[in-house]
Amino acid sequence: MKRRVVVTGLGLVTPVGNSVETTWAALMSGRSGVDYIQKFDTTRFPVRIAAEVKDFNPLDFIEKKEARKMGAFIHYAIAASDEALRDSGLSITGEMAEQVGTYISSGIGDFWAIEREHEKLLNDGPGRVSPFFIPSAIVNLAAGQVSIRHGAKGPNSATATACSAGAHAIGDSFKIIQRGDADVMICGGAESAITPMSVAGFAAMRALSTRNDDPKGASRPFERDRDGFVIGEGAGLMILEELEFARRRGARIYAELVGYGMTADAFHITMPDETGSGAVRVMQKALHDAGAQPEEIGYINAHGTSTPYNDKFETRAIKTTFGEHAYKVAVSSTKSMTGHLLGAAGGIEGVFSVLALHHKTLPPTINYVTPDPDCDLDYVPNEPRELEVRYALSNSFGFGGTNAALLFKRFEE
Protein backbone atom coordinates (compact mmCIF):
# COMPACT_ATOMS: atom_id res chain seq x y z
CA MET A 1 0.00 0.00 0.00
CA LYS A 2 1.33 3.44 -0.95
CA ARG A 3 1.33 6.05 1.79
CA ARG A 4 -1.34 8.64 1.01
CA VAL A 5 -0.23 12.25 0.61
CA VAL A 6 -2.44 15.28 1.25
CA VAL A 7 -2.16 19.05 0.83
CA THR A 8 -2.55 20.95 4.11
CA GLY A 9 -1.11 24.42 3.46
CA LEU A 10 -0.71 26.87 0.57
CA GLY A 11 1.44 29.96 0.01
CA LEU A 12 1.67 32.36 -2.92
CA VAL A 13 3.52 35.44 -4.15
CA THR A 14 2.35 36.23 -7.69
CA PRO A 15 1.97 39.10 -10.15
CA VAL A 16 -1.71 39.40 -9.13
CA GLY A 17 -1.36 39.08 -5.36
CA ASN A 18 1.09 38.50 -2.54
CA SER A 19 -1.00 35.88 -0.73
CA VAL A 20 -3.32 33.00 -1.51
CA GLU A 21 -6.40 35.08 -0.71
CA THR A 22 -5.50 38.08 -2.89
CA THR A 23 -4.26 35.94 -5.77
CA TRP A 24 -7.35 33.74 -5.85
CA ALA A 25 -9.61 36.81 -5.73
CA ALA A 26 -7.72 38.26 -8.71
CA LEU A 27 -8.12 35.03 -10.69
CA MET A 28 -11.84 34.97 -9.93
CA SER A 29 -12.17 38.53 -11.21
CA GLY A 30 -10.13 37.76 -14.34
CA ARG A 31 -7.51 40.39 -13.55
CA SER A 32 -4.24 40.42 -15.47
CA GLY A 33 -0.95 41.06 -13.68
CA VAL A 34 0.83 42.08 -16.88
CA ASP A 35 2.01 45.67 -17.24
CA TYR A 36 4.96 47.75 -18.40
CA ILE A 37 8.28 46.69 -16.87
CA GLN A 38 9.31 48.87 -13.94
CA LYS A 39 12.54 47.09 -12.95
CA PHE A 40 14.73 48.55 -15.71
CA ASP A 41 14.67 50.91 -18.70
CA THR A 42 13.15 49.07 -21.67
CA THR A 43 13.61 51.85 -24.23
CA ARG A 44 15.89 49.76 -26.47
CA PHE A 45 14.01 46.49 -25.96
CA PRO A 46 11.54 44.95 -28.40
CA VAL A 47 9.56 43.69 -25.38
CA ARG A 48 8.53 46.20 -22.71
CA ILE A 49 5.96 44.20 -20.75
CA ALA A 50 6.10 41.56 -18.02
CA ALA A 51 4.12 40.18 -15.07
CA GLU A 52 6.07 41.65 -12.15
CA VAL A 53 5.34 41.09 -8.46
CA LYS A 54 3.95 44.34 -7.05
CA ASP A 55 4.02 46.04 -3.65
CA PHE A 56 6.22 43.33 -2.14
CA ASN A 57 8.62 44.34 0.62
CA PRO A 58 10.99 41.57 1.75
CA LEU A 59 11.58 43.46 5.00
CA ASP A 60 8.03 42.53 6.00
CA PHE A 61 9.37 38.98 6.34
CA ILE A 62 13.15 39.12 6.67
CA GLU A 63 15.60 41.25 8.63
CA LYS A 64 17.38 43.78 6.41
CA LYS A 65 20.84 42.35 7.02
CA GLU A 66 19.69 38.87 6.01
CA ALA A 67 17.56 40.04 3.07
CA ARG A 68 20.64 41.62 1.46
CA LYS A 69 22.25 38.18 1.29
CA MET A 70 19.37 36.73 -0.76
CA GLY A 71 18.09 37.01 -4.30
CA ALA A 72 14.49 38.06 -4.87
CA PHE A 73 13.42 34.50 -5.71
CA ILE A 74 14.51 33.52 -2.19
CA HIS A 75 12.52 36.43 -0.72
CA TYR A 76 9.44 35.19 -2.56
CA ALA A 77 10.01 31.60 -1.42
CA ILE A 78 10.37 32.63 2.21
CA ALA A 79 7.18 34.70 2.12
CA ALA A 80 5.27 31.84 0.49
CA SER A 81 6.69 29.29 2.96
CA ASP A 82 5.66 31.45 5.91
CA GLU A 83 2.12 31.65 4.57
CA ALA A 84 1.92 27.94 3.70
CA LEU A 85 3.12 26.81 7.13
CA ARG A 86 0.84 29.27 8.89
CA ASP A 87 -2.06 28.05 6.74
CA SER A 88 -1.28 24.43 7.59
CA GLY A 89 -1.10 25.08 11.33
CA LEU A 90 2.13 23.05 11.48
CA SER A 91 4.81 23.97 14.00
CA ILE A 92 8.10 22.22 13.24
CA THR A 93 9.37 20.97 16.58
CA GLY A 94 12.75 19.41 17.26
CA GLU A 95 11.34 15.91 17.52
CA MET A 96 9.77 16.02 14.06
CA ALA A 97 12.36 18.21 12.27
CA GLU A 98 14.16 15.32 10.61
CA GLN A 99 10.91 14.21 8.98
CA VAL A 100 10.17 17.63 7.46
CA GLY A 101 11.87 18.44 4.14
CA THR A 102 12.15 21.30 1.68
CA TYR A 103 12.09 20.98 -2.10
CA ILE A 104 11.87 24.34 -3.86
CA SER A 105 12.92 24.59 -7.49
CA SER A 106 13.73 27.39 -9.91
CA GLY A 107 14.50 27.57 -13.59
CA ILE A 108 17.19 30.23 -13.31
CA GLY A 109 17.66 31.39 -9.72
CA ASP A 110 18.55 35.05 -9.25
CA PHE A 111 19.49 36.53 -12.62
CA TRP A 112 19.71 39.97 -11.04
CA ALA A 113 22.63 38.93 -8.86
CA ILE A 114 24.47 37.47 -11.84
CA GLU A 115 24.09 40.64 -13.91
CA ARG A 116 24.88 43.00 -11.03
CA GLU A 117 28.00 41.19 -9.86
CA HIS A 118 29.24 40.65 -13.41
CA GLU A 119 29.07 44.39 -13.97
CA LYS A 120 31.07 44.95 -10.77
CA LEU A 121 33.67 42.44 -11.97
CA LEU A 122 34.11 44.20 -15.32
CA ASN A 123 34.09 47.74 -13.97
CA ASP A 124 35.83 47.43 -10.60
CA GLY A 125 37.65 44.11 -10.58
CA PRO A 126 37.19 40.80 -8.75
CA GLY A 127 37.72 42.35 -5.33
CA ARG A 128 34.36 44.11 -5.58
CA VAL A 129 32.27 40.97 -6.15
CA SER A 130 30.05 40.32 -3.14
CA PRO A 131 30.87 37.31 -0.92
CA PHE A 132 27.12 36.68 -0.88
CA PHE A 133 26.85 36.55 -4.68
CA ILE A 134 26.84 32.76 -5.01
CA PRO A 135 24.44 31.96 -2.14
CA SER A 136 22.09 34.71 -3.28
CA ALA A 137 21.88 33.37 -6.83
CA ILE A 138 22.13 29.59 -7.02
CA VAL A 139 18.93 27.61 -7.49
CA ASN A 140 19.00 25.45 -4.35
CA LEU A 141 19.28 28.34 -1.90
CA ALA A 142 15.51 28.96 -1.86
CA ALA A 143 15.10 25.48 -0.38
CA GLY A 144 18.18 25.99 1.76
CA GLN A 145 17.06 29.28 3.27
CA VAL A 146 13.53 27.98 3.91
CA SER A 147 15.03 24.92 5.60
CA ILE A 148 17.20 27.10 7.83
CA ARG A 149 14.37 29.51 8.62
CA HIS A 150 11.92 26.84 9.73
CA GLY A 151 14.31 24.22 11.10
CA ALA A 152 13.37 21.54 8.56
CA LYS A 153 16.10 18.88 8.71
CA GLY A 154 14.69 16.28 6.32
CA PRO A 155 15.36 16.04 2.56
CA ASN A 156 16.54 19.37 1.12
CA SER A 157 16.59 19.60 -2.66
CA ALA A 158 15.91 21.61 -5.82
CA THR A 159 15.71 20.99 -9.54
CA ALA A 160 16.45 23.35 -12.42
CA THR A 161 14.22 21.74 -15.02
CA ALA A 162 13.16 24.98 -16.71
CA CYS A 163 9.39 25.52 -16.76
CA SER A 164 8.67 22.10 -15.24
CA ALA A 165 10.80 22.76 -12.15
CA GLY A 166 8.05 23.73 -9.69
CA ALA A 167 5.90 20.77 -10.70
CA HIS A 168 8.87 18.41 -10.44
CA ALA A 169 9.52 19.70 -6.92
CA ILE A 170 5.94 18.90 -5.87
CA GLY A 171 5.92 15.54 -7.63
CA ASP A 172 9.29 14.47 -6.26
CA SER A 173 8.18 15.53 -2.76
CA PHE A 174 5.07 13.38 -3.20
CA LYS A 175 7.29 10.38 -3.90
CA ILE A 176 9.63 11.21 -1.00
CA ILE A 177 6.66 11.04 1.39
CA GLN A 178 5.19 7.96 -0.28
CA ARG A 179 8.37 5.96 0.24
CA GLY A 180 8.75 7.10 3.84
CA ASP A 181 11.77 9.40 3.58
CA ALA A 182 9.76 12.27 5.09
CA ASP A 183 6.33 12.87 6.62
CA VAL A 184 6.09 16.53 5.53
CA MET A 185 7.50 18.46 2.56
CA ILE A 186 7.51 22.21 1.94
CA CYS A 187 7.60 22.25 -1.86
CA GLY A 188 7.03 24.21 -5.06
CA GLY A 189 8.86 26.79 -7.15
CA ALA A 190 10.27 30.32 -7.02
CA GLU A 191 11.61 32.64 -9.74
CA SER A 192 12.86 36.21 -10.22
CA ALA A 193 14.16 36.46 -13.76
CA ILE A 194 12.67 39.69 -15.13
CA THR A 195 16.05 41.26 -15.90
CA PRO A 196 17.63 42.95 -18.93
CA MET A 197 19.64 39.87 -19.92
CA SER A 198 16.74 37.46 -19.43
CA VAL A 199 14.20 39.56 -21.33
CA ALA A 200 16.73 40.21 -24.11
CA GLY A 201 17.48 36.50 -24.35
CA PHE A 202 13.88 35.33 -24.52
CA ALA A 203 13.08 38.16 -26.95
CA ALA A 204 15.97 37.10 -29.20
CA MET A 205 14.35 33.64 -29.35
CA ARG A 206 11.08 35.32 -30.37
CA ALA A 207 9.41 33.50 -27.50
CA LEU A 208 7.86 36.60 -25.88
CA SER A 209 4.71 38.50 -26.79
CA THR A 210 5.45 41.88 -28.37
CA ARG A 211 1.96 43.23 -27.70
CA ASN A 212 3.50 46.29 -26.04
CA ASP A 213 0.48 48.46 -26.77
CA ASP A 214 -1.85 46.12 -24.86
CA PRO A 215 -0.12 44.64 -21.80
CA LYS A 216 -3.28 43.33 -20.15
CA GLY A 217 -4.28 41.53 -23.33
CA ALA A 218 -0.83 40.19 -24.20
CA SER A 219 -1.12 36.73 -22.65
CA ARG A 220 -3.93 34.97 -24.53
CA PRO A 221 -3.48 31.20 -24.38
CA PHE A 222 -5.28 29.07 -26.97
CA GLU A 223 -6.62 32.20 -28.70
CA ARG A 224 -6.07 32.68 -32.42
CA ASP A 225 -3.99 35.89 -32.13
CA ARG A 226 -1.54 34.73 -29.43
CA ASP A 227 2.03 35.76 -30.22
CA GLY A 228 4.22 34.56 -27.33
CA PHE A 229 4.42 34.25 -23.57
CA VAL A 230 4.75 37.02 -20.99
CA ILE A 231 7.53 36.48 -18.46
CA GLY A 232 6.45 36.54 -14.81
CA GLU A 233 7.92 36.07 -11.32
CA GLY A 234 6.94 34.93 -7.85
CA ALA A 235 6.58 31.73 -5.83
CA GLY A 236 4.03 29.02 -5.22
CA LEU A 237 4.49 26.53 -2.37
CA MET A 238 2.40 23.89 -0.67
CA ILE A 239 2.69 21.72 2.41
CA LEU A 240 2.41 18.02 1.63
CA GLU A 241 1.88 15.56 4.48
CA GLU A 242 1.47 11.85 4.90
CA LEU A 243 -2.23 11.34 5.61
CA GLU A 244 -1.92 9.70 9.03
CA PHE A 245 0.59 12.34 10.17
CA ALA A 246 -1.90 15.05 9.13
CA ARG A 247 -4.80 13.26 10.82
CA ARG A 248 -2.95 12.88 14.10
CA ARG A 249 -2.47 16.60 14.41
CA GLY A 250 -6.01 17.43 13.21
CA ALA A 251 -4.89 19.21 10.05
CA ARG A 252 -7.34 20.75 7.58
CA ILE A 253 -6.96 18.93 4.25
CA TYR A 254 -7.38 20.80 0.95
CA ALA A 255 -6.96 17.86 -1.42
CA GLU A 256 -5.03 14.67 -2.00
CA LEU A 257 -2.10 14.36 -4.42
CA VAL A 258 -2.56 11.01 -6.12
CA GLY A 259 -0.56 10.99 -9.36
CA TYR A 260 2.72 12.22 -10.83
CA GLY A 261 4.34 11.75 -14.21
CA MET A 262 7.70 12.70 -15.76
CA THR A 263 8.72 12.31 -19.41
CA ALA A 264 11.03 13.71 -22.08
CA ASP A 265 10.13 14.75 -25.62
CA ALA A 266 13.66 13.91 -26.85
CA PHE A 267 12.88 16.20 -29.76
CA HIS A 268 14.22 19.80 -29.67
CA ILE A 269 15.95 22.21 -27.28
CA THR A 270 12.99 24.62 -27.13
CA MET A 271 10.08 23.53 -29.32
CA PRO A 272 7.63 20.88 -28.07
CA ASP A 273 7.15 17.73 -30.10
CA GLU A 274 4.47 18.54 -32.67
CA THR A 275 2.84 15.15 -32.10
CA GLY A 276 2.49 15.94 -28.41
CA SER A 277 3.85 12.49 -27.55
CA GLY A 278 5.83 13.62 -24.50
CA ALA A 279 2.82 15.49 -23.14
CA VAL A 280 0.57 12.52 -23.83
CA ARG A 281 2.86 10.12 -21.99
CA VAL A 282 3.29 12.40 -18.97
CA MET A 283 -0.47 12.76 -18.52
CA GLN A 284 -0.93 9.01 -18.96
CA LYS A 285 1.76 8.34 -16.35
CA ALA A 286 0.05 10.63 -13.83
CA LEU A 287 -3.27 8.88 -14.46
CA HIS A 288 -1.68 5.44 -14.16
CA ASP A 289 0.13 6.42 -10.96
CA ALA A 290 -3.21 7.44 -9.45
CA GLY A 291 -5.17 4.49 -10.82
CA ALA A 292 -7.54 7.00 -12.41
CA GLN A 293 -9.39 6.71 -15.72
CA PRO A 294 -9.31 9.49 -18.33
CA GLU A 295 -13.08 10.02 -18.13
CA GLU A 296 -12.79 10.78 -14.38
CA ILE A 297 -10.77 13.98 -14.96
CA GLY A 298 -12.89 17.12 -14.75
CA TYR A 299 -10.33 19.95 -14.97
CA ILE A 300 -6.90 20.55 -16.45
CA ASN A 301 -4.78 23.53 -15.49
CA ALA A 302 -2.88 23.60 -18.77
CA HIS A 303 0.68 24.66 -19.39
CA GLY A 304 -0.93 27.04 -21.91
CA THR A 305 1.88 29.51 -22.50
CA SER A 306 0.24 31.65 -25.21
CA THR A 307 2.87 30.64 -27.76
CA PRO A 308 1.65 29.43 -31.15
CA TYR A 309 3.22 25.98 -30.94
CA ASN A 310 2.74 25.08 -27.26
CA ASP A 311 -1.00 25.71 -27.17
CA LYS A 312 -1.65 23.89 -30.42
CA PHE A 313 0.41 20.85 -29.46
CA GLU A 314 -0.90 20.71 -25.88
CA THR A 315 -4.46 20.73 -27.23
CA ARG A 316 -3.50 17.89 -29.56
CA ALA A 317 -1.98 15.97 -26.64
CA ILE A 318 -5.08 16.40 -24.47
CA LYS A 319 -7.26 15.06 -27.29
CA THR A 320 -4.97 12.07 -27.77
CA THR A 321 -4.90 11.33 -24.04
CA PHE A 322 -8.59 11.74 -23.32
CA GLY A 323 -10.23 10.88 -26.64
CA GLU A 324 -13.84 12.05 -26.87
CA HIS A 325 -13.77 12.95 -23.18
CA ALA A 326 -11.35 15.78 -24.05
CA TYR A 327 -14.34 17.84 -25.18
CA LYS A 328 -15.99 17.36 -21.77
CA VAL A 329 -12.95 18.38 -19.72
CA ALA A 330 -12.65 22.01 -18.63
CA VAL A 331 -9.17 23.31 -19.57
CA SER A 332 -7.84 26.71 -18.54
CA SER A 333 -4.55 28.56 -18.55
CA THR A 334 -4.03 30.84 -15.58
CA LYS A 335 -0.94 32.18 -17.38
CA SER A 336 -3.43 34.46 -19.14
CA MET A 337 -3.46 36.39 -15.84
CA THR A 338 -0.16 35.63 -14.10
CA GLY A 339 2.11 35.41 -17.12
CA HIS A 340 4.63 32.57 -17.25
CA LEU A 341 6.63 32.23 -14.02
CA LEU A 342 9.14 29.82 -15.60
CA GLY A 343 10.42 27.55 -12.80
CA ALA A 344 7.72 28.79 -10.42
CA ALA A 345 4.88 28.14 -12.88
CA GLY A 346 4.27 24.57 -11.75
CA GLY A 347 4.29 25.72 -8.14
CA ILE A 348 1.61 28.37 -8.46
CA GLU A 349 -0.45 26.30 -10.89
CA GLY A 350 -0.36 23.31 -8.55
CA VAL A 351 -1.78 25.62 -5.87
CA PHE A 352 -4.44 26.88 -8.31
CA SER A 353 -5.46 23.30 -9.11
CA VAL A 354 -5.88 22.55 -5.40
CA LEU A 355 -7.90 25.74 -4.91
CA ALA A 356 -10.14 24.81 -7.85
CA LEU A 357 -11.00 21.54 -6.09
CA HIS A 358 -11.37 23.21 -2.70
CA HIS A 359 -13.57 26.12 -3.83
CA LYS A 360 -15.42 24.09 -6.48
CA THR A 361 -14.68 26.88 -8.94
CA LEU A 362 -12.45 26.83 -12.02
CA PRO A 363 -10.29 29.84 -12.92
CA PRO A 364 -10.77 31.21 -16.43
CA THR A 365 -8.60 31.73 -19.48
CA ILE A 366 -8.90 35.47 -20.02
CA ASN A 367 -8.30 37.40 -23.27
CA TYR A 368 -10.07 34.62 -25.15
CA VAL A 369 -11.69 36.53 -28.01
CA THR A 370 -11.24 34.70 -31.31
CA PRO A 371 -11.15 30.89 -31.27
CA ASP A 372 -8.32 29.08 -33.03
CA PRO A 373 -9.50 26.13 -35.16
CA ASP A 374 -6.48 24.15 -33.93
CA CYS A 375 -7.47 24.78 -30.30
CA ASP A 376 -11.05 23.60 -30.04
CA LEU A 377 -11.52 22.51 -26.42
CA ASP A 378 -13.41 24.12 -23.53
CA TYR A 379 -10.93 26.69 -22.21
CA VAL A 380 -13.27 28.22 -19.56
CA PRO A 381 -13.24 31.50 -21.52
CA ASN A 382 -13.03 34.81 -19.68
CA GLU A 383 -15.20 33.97 -16.65
CA PRO A 384 -14.67 31.58 -13.72
CA ARG A 385 -16.98 28.58 -13.59
CA GLU A 386 -18.56 27.05 -10.53
CA LEU A 387 -18.08 23.34 -11.00
CA GLU A 388 -17.35 20.53 -8.57
CA VAL A 389 -14.83 18.12 -10.03
CA ARG A 390 -13.21 15.05 -8.48
CA TYR A 391 -9.79 15.27 -10.18
CA ALA A 392 -7.67 18.23 -11.31
CA LEU A 393 -4.61 17.72 -13.52
CA SER A 394 -1.80 20.29 -13.72
CA ASN A 395 0.58 20.24 -16.72
CA SER A 396 4.08 21.74 -16.88
CA PHE A 397 6.41 21.49 -19.89
CA GLY A 398 9.93 22.92 -20.16
CA PHE A 399 12.76 23.69 -22.57
CA GLY A 400 14.79 20.62 -23.37
CA GLY A 401 11.57 18.62 -23.65
CA THR A 402 11.14 18.02 -19.91
CA ASN A 403 7.54 17.37 -18.83
CA ALA A 404 5.68 16.99 -15.55
CA ALA A 405 2.06 16.33 -14.64
CA LEU A 406 0.43 16.38 -11.22
CA LEU A 407 -2.95 14.84 -10.46
CA PHE A 408 -4.87 16.13 -7.46
CA LYS A 409 -8.07 14.59 -6.12
CA ARG A 410 -10.87 15.88 -3.92
CA PHE A 411 -10.11 14.39 -0.50
CA GLU A 412 -12.24 11.40 0.43
CA GLU A 413 -11.94 9.36 3.62
How do residues 287-334 score in pLDDT, each as one tens digit?
999 999 999 999 999 999 999 999 999 999 999 999 999 999 999 999
Residue of 75, 150, 168, 340 with catalytic role: 340
Between CA 321 and CA 282 the distance in angstroms is: 10
Nearest Cα neighbor of 136 from 100, 106, 172 is 106
Domain ranges of the chain: 5-248, 260-409
Task: Using a pLDDT cut of 70, give the percent of the chain over it.
Answer: 100
Identify whether the C-beta of residue 139 lies closer than 8 Å to the C-beta of residue 74.
no
pLDDT the model gives residue 218:
98
Q: Does the annotation mark 303 as catalytic?
A: yes
* Residue 206 burial (C-beta neighbours within 10 Å; 0-12, 13-18, 19+): exposed
What pLDDT is recorded for position 256? 98
Is 187 marked active-site? no
Are the CB atoms for 307 and 374 separated by under 8 Å? Answer: no
Selecting among 150, 163, 168, 358, the annotated active-site residue is 163
The answer, yes or no, to whether residue 274 has pLDDT greater than 90, is: no
* pTM recorded for the entire structure: 0.98
User: Beta-carbon neighbour count of residue 233 at 10 Å?
Assistant: 29
- The DSSP result for 106-124, as a single string, is -SS-BHHHHHHHHHHHHHH
Q: Average per-residue pLDDT in the chain?
A: 97
For 5-248, which CATH class?
alpha beta
- pLDDT the model gives residue 2: 87
| Identical fold, 5-248 and 260-409 | yes
Over the stretch 50-103, which tens digit does the pLDDT of each residue have?
Answer: 999 999 999 999 999 999 999 999 999 999 999 999 999 999 999 999 999 999
Question: Taking the domain 260-409, which CATH number applies?
Answer: 3.40.47.10
Annotation says 163 is catalytic: yes
* pLDDT attached to residue 97: 98
Kindly report, residue by residue over 245-266, the tens digit of the pLDDT: 999 999 999 999 999 999 999 9
Of 75, 150, 168, 303, which is the active-site residue?
303
**Based on the number of CB atoms within 10 Å of its own CB, is 336 exposed (0-12), middle (13-18) or buried (19 or more)?**
buried
Q: How confident is the model at residue 413 (pLDDT cuts 50, 70, 90)?
A: confident
Q: What is the tens place of the pLDDT at every residue in 164-176?
A: 999 999 999 999 9
pLDDT digits over 207-249, tens only?
Answer: 999 999 999 999 999 999 999 999 999 999 999 999 999 999 9
The answer, yes or no, to whether residue 1 has pLDDT greater than 80, is no
